[in-house]
Amino acid sequence: MSCGCCSTDNKVQELDKIIAKYKDTRGALIPVLHDAQELYGYLPMSVQKRIAEGLGVSLAEVYGVVTFYTQFYLNPKGKYKISVCLGTACYVKGAGEIYDKISEILNIKSGECTSDGLFSLDACRCIGACGLAPVIMINDDVYGRLTADDIPDIIRKYQEAEAAAV
């Protein structure tokens, strides 16, 4: 995750390390994009260009992959990234209502970020946890078998943690 304390130069060095790590493996692009997104929080053009150059693929290919998968972001995300799975299993188990509830509480839509930079919301495709449907993820935390009523408490937990840290 983006720690916000290291300089741009350090990040570029980190990115180069990521690229070097995967360079000679087949199908390197997706793992590199994952790690780069961990590092930067999203995948700006400069990062995609460096990855393309480093892996010897075209920027068009990188951008094609980034825009194909909803898990990759072209824009910065909130400190807490909420992903609501709208895959088939989650959807039939009521993920739509969960999404609406989050959207209502935070007053943002999919792809947007709250004005304080704390939360961003994304509707995502199946995250492979259908047994827990409906599922949301907040950063690396997974919440499963949810109902819309569970949502306010979950969000409050992060807000309180944030307030305590200040």
Q: Which residues bind another protein (CB under 8 A)?
A: 45-46, 48-49, 58-64, 67-68
Answer whether 89's CB lies under 8 Å from 126's CB.
Answer: yes
In the complex with another protein, the residue whose CB is nearer, 58 or 159, is 58
- Distances from the Cα of 135 to the Cα of 50, 72, 105, 128, angstroms: 34, 19, 18, 10
Please, what is the minimum distance in Å from the beta carbon of residue 67 to another protein? 5
In the complex with another protein, the residue whose CB is nearer, 38 or 69, is 69
Please, what is the minimum distance in Å from the beta carbon of residue 29 to another protein? 13
Please, what is the minimum distance in Å from the beta carbon of residue 79 to another protein? 23
Residue 56, both tokens = 């010897």
Answer whether 135's CB lies under 8 Å from 87's CB.
Answer: no
Answer whether 51's CB lies under 8 Å from 82's CB.
Answer: no
Which residue type sits at 2? S
Please, what is the minimum distance in Å from the beta carbon of residue 41 to another protein? 18
In the complex with another protein, the residue whose CB is nearer, 58 or 107, is 58
